């Protein structure tokens, strides 16, 4: 596998995983020979460092990807977790997605500052729809400058994380917040986007808190199932389309305001079928099941963003404050397992509107990378594609860990990985997916197998 990737002319997102897997210890706990990369159990005490830096494009770069103004900043946040000789890094960016090129450059920056191997550096995004997409540097001068912004911010954030690395303890908790809603709505022409209170929507808020040994917060990680799209496509009264970190940014900003000096991390969960309940530009449906899109609140939409972000942020803080059981020292197991499943990639109908019929044409074999990161009694499982609520629930319900975080949008993100229900009902998630029916269930089963191997 390693040779196959080394022969490619351009670094791909999966190449990093494969290269790390080929040089790592054999993952015998999984019961079969795989390409998985697994970190050994740490022998030293738990240490944690964090950093945060802005990469918002300057006014001189606008318009960029149709965005013409800035409402609030975009940030990259870096978490370093060390135990013994093992260091693992997590970078989270306020973006919809991120290119393989930018990820590779970020990894180079993190490795240079920390010595962490590329295979032990996780990169994910908040799936914020009010940030410019990251295009190839060769596409335009603006795109190249944007990529350099991201790399420079990563260098700053990781430098701060290294400088602040200190003995730490970790605790976990969970709560609930009624901010998300299932977005699959039955119209006269089939399922489409909107607000559906009757279909599944996990309201769980899952929180990890890293403190110093005196009990002062260093980092607060929050996992919630929703797309950050309150302000998606909403144009202001003056005609500008503003950049904003949206719901994830507002929730994390609230947390950071309550814990000065700590860094908040948004870990997006099953976002493939979940909208914020209130959006500035929204879908509506009438009594005859006719749908429309385009009712825009313009500037007033930011009030919806503020109150929903505050609501989520309040619950994250409430849960964080209620955590009383912590782990520290040499007894905290820290390890990262990367693996993948093989499936079939498909091409379906372009999701321009609801439909009652669709053909999914196989186009070749695809690999779906999987990450499972353990810190003590908590485990973080992530994939590239957007997951559905049913898939995330299955992973969490089968987990033997008391705290299980399920995440979409690793490695810059990918299109949807719909479960059986979404395929059967031809939802937007299925029409916008890349994988054959059954892939989501296969990925969940593999994650379950990996998690069981960690005990």
Residue 100 backbone dihedrals phi, psi, to 5 degrees: -60, -35
Residue the block writes with tokens 């999987």: 370
* Contact partners, residue 3, CB within 8 Å, separation at least 6: none
SS3 365: strand
pLDDT of residue 300: 98
Closest C-alpha to 39, from 450, 380, 332, 336: 336
**Per-residue tokens: 213:** 């040994």
pTM (two decimals): 0.91
Give percent helix, percent strand, percent coil of the chain, each to the nearest 5.
30, 35, 35
Calculate mean pLDDT across residues 140-154.
97
What confidence category does residue 6 fall into, taking pLDDT thresholds of 50, 70 and 90?
A: very low
Would you say 149 and 141 are in contact if contact means Cβ atoms under 8 Å apart? no
**Per-residue tokens: 413:** 């993100």
Peptide bond into 63 cis (omega under 30): yes
Average pLDDT over the chain reads 91
Helix-helix angle 389-398:439-453, to 10 degrees: 20
pLDDT of residue 416: 94
**Is 13 a residue whose pLDDT tops 80?**
no
**Is 34 a residue whose pLDDT tops 50?**
no
Q: What is the rounded distance in angstroms from the CA atom of residue 111 to the CA atom of residue 32?
A: 30
Closest C-alpha to 111, from 134, 93, 88, 95: 88
Taking only the tens place, the pLDDT of each residue in 114-139 is 999 999 999 999 999 999 999 999 99
Residue 11 or 179, more confident: 179
**Is 104 a residue whose pLDDT tops 90?**
yes
Closest C-alpha to 170, from 111, 138, 218, 204: 218
Residue 373 backbone dihedrals phi, psi, to 5 degrees: -115, 120
**Is 40 a residue whose pLDDT tops 70?**
no
Q: What is the rounded distance in angstroms from the CA atom of residue 128 to the CA atom of residue 143?
A: 18
**Is 17 a residue whose pLDDT tops 70?**
no
pLDDT of residue 455: 79
**Is 96 a residue whose pLDDT tops 70?**
yes
Q: What is the rounded distance in angstroms from the CA atom of residue 259 to the CA atom of residue 267?
A: 18
What confidence category does residue 316 fall into, taking pLDDT thresholds of 50, 70 and 90?
A: very high
Would you say 271 and 387 are in contact if contact means Cβ atoms under 8 Å apart? yes
Strand partners, 404: 379
DSSP E strands in 34-179: the ranges are: 37-38, 46-54, 69-70, 75-83, 86-93, 121-125, 166-176
pLDDT of residue 15: 42
pLDDT of residue 267: 98
As a whole-number percent, the residues of the chain with pLDDT over 90 amount to 87
Taking only the tens place, the pLDDT of each residue in 72-93 is 999 999 999 999 888 999 999 9
Calculate mean pLDDT across residues 228-247.
98
Taking only the tens place, the pLDDT of each residue in 180-193 is 999 999 999 999 99
pLDDT of residue 85: 84
Taking only the tens place, the pLDDT of each residue in 325-346 is 999 999 899 999 999 999 999 9
Query: What spatial distance separates the first Cα and last Cα of the chain, rounded to whole Å?
Result: 28
Q: What is the rounded distance in angstroms from the CA atom of residue 252 to the CA atom of residue 246?
A: 10
Produce one character per residue of 115-151: b if its CB has 16 or more CB atoms within 10 Å, e if not: ebbbbbbbbbbbbbbbbbbbbebeeeebbeebbebbb
Calculate mean pLDDT across residues 259-278.
98
Calculate mean pLDDT across residues 266-294.
97
Q: What is the rounded distance in angstroms from the CA atom of residue 281 to the CA atom of residue 262?
A: 33
Calculate mean pLDDT across residues 344-349.
89
pLDDT of residue 44: 59
Residue 106 or 350, more confident: 106
Q: What is the rounded distance in angstroms from the CA atom of residue 447 to the CA atom of residue 25?
A: 19
């Amino acid at each position: 596998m390693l040779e196959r990737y080394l022969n490619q002319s351009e670094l791909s997102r999966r190449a990093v995983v494969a290269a790390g897997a080929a040089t790592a210890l054999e993952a015998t706990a999984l019961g079969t020979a795989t390409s998985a990369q697994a970190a050994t159990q740490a022998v030293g005490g738990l240490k944690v460092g964090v950093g945060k830096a802005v990469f918002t494009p300057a006014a001189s770069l606008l318009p960029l990807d149709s965005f013409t103004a800035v409402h609030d900043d975009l940030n990259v946040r870096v978490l370093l977790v060390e135990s013994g000789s093992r260091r693992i890094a997590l970078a989270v960016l306020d973006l919809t997605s991120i290119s393989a090129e930018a990820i590779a450059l970020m990894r180079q920056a993190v490795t240079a500052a920390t010595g962490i191997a590329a295979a032990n550096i996780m990169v994910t995004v908040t799936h914020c729809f009010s940030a410019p997409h990251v295009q190839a540097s060769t596409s335009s001068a603006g795109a190249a400058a944007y990529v350099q912004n991201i790399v420079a911010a990563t260098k700053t954030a990781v430098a701060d994380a290294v400088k602040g690395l200190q003995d730490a303890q970790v605790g976990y908790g969970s709560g609930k917040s009624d901010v998300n809603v299932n977005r699959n709505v039955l119209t006269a022409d089939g399922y489409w986007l909107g607000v559906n209170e009757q279909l599944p929507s996990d309201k769980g808020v899952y929180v990890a808190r890293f403190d110093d040994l005196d009990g002062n917060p260093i980092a607060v990680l929050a996992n919630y199932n929703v797309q950050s799209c309150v302000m998606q496509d909403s144009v202001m009264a003056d005609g500008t389309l503003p950049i904003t970190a949206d719901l994830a940014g507002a929730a994390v900003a609230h947390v950071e305001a309550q814990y000065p000096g700590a860094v908040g991390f948004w870990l997006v969960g099953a976002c493939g079928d979940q909208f914020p309940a209130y959006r500035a530009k929204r879908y509506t449906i009438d009594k005859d099941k006719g749908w429309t899109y385009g009712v825009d609140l313009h500037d007033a939409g930011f009030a919806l963003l503020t109150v929903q972000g505050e609501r989520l942020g309040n619950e994250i803080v409430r849960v964080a404050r209620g955590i009383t059981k912590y782990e520290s020292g040499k007894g905290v197991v820290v390890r990262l397992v990367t693996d993948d499943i093989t499936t079939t990639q498909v091409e379906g109908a372009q999701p321009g509107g609801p439909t009652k019929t669709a053909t999914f044409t196989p186009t070749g074999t695809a690999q779906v990378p999987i990450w499972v990161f353990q810190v003590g009694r908590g485990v973080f499982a992530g994939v590239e594609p957007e997951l559905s609520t049913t898939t995330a629930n299955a992973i969490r319900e089968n987990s033997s860990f008391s705290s299980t975080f399920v995440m979409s949008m690793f490695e810059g993100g990918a299109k949807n990985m719909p479960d059986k229900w979404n395929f059967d009902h031809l939802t937007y998630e299925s029409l916008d997916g890349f994988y054959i029916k059954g892939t989501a269930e296969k990925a969940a089963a593999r994650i379950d197998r990996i998690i069981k191997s960690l005990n």
